[in-house]
Amino acid sequence: MQNQQIKQLIEAVLFVAETPMSVAQLTDYLLEHGMDATRKIVREVLDELQRDYQERGVQLQEIASGYRFQTRAELGGIIASLWQEKPPRYSQALLETLALIAYRQPITRGDIEEIRGVSVSSQIMKTLQERGWVKVIGHREVPGRPQLYATTNEFLDYFNLKDLSELPAIPEPPARTANTGPVAQETTAETATEESESAP
């Protein structure tokens, strides 16, 4: 009976919590309210709840900050019309900058500019930090001591990841082949970005 009460309480707490909750937070909460719970018991209950919700429209998901209930990803497009507010649109330059920080962290702004071949606007770095996706974690010990950037738990939470090891692998670029015929100019994501940034 005790474990059933623990399961019901954890389920209810996660439904009403405004932010994800970790195993430690859930255990402390249960102990504060007189429930005889250990982290092992809490993990077992969470595993059971994940199985219970596996085929439901709502799922219990573990992310970097803990556990949260969320709708199934494949239902997102259908239920999005319930909210009038549109999600923010981000520029290609911002997304490329974020990707470089995620895959190459810790990284300086100069490193990003060298890889992309164009300058990174202060607004991009400000937006990433205001979103809570990127933070300064130190300085590189070279002249000027540039700031080192890395991603945050908020970044992992937003993209539904437990840790950086879950980032998708970067595909290898296709091998170049000799072509004796006329070659059309390729417009890559990089040149497109440079053109959009240089446009008035």
Per-residue pLDDT at 185 exceeds 90: no
Q: Which fold has domain 92-171?
A: Arc Repressor Mutant, subunit A (1.10.10)
Q: pLDDT digit string (tens) for 80-102?
A: 777 666 667 888 899 999 999 99
Where in the chain are the domains? Answer: 2-74, 92-171
| pLDDT of the residue at 168 | 87
CATH 1.10.357.10 matches 2-74 = no
Q: In what order do the strands lie in the sheet with 134-139?
A: 107-108, 147-151, 134-139
From 5-14, 74-83, 96-105, 169-178, the region with the lowest mean pLDDT: 169-178
| pLDDT of the residue at 77 | 72
Assess whether the region 2-74 and the region 92-171 belong to the same CATH fold: yes
Per-residue pLDDT at 20 exceeds 90: yes
Mean pLDDT of the chain: 82
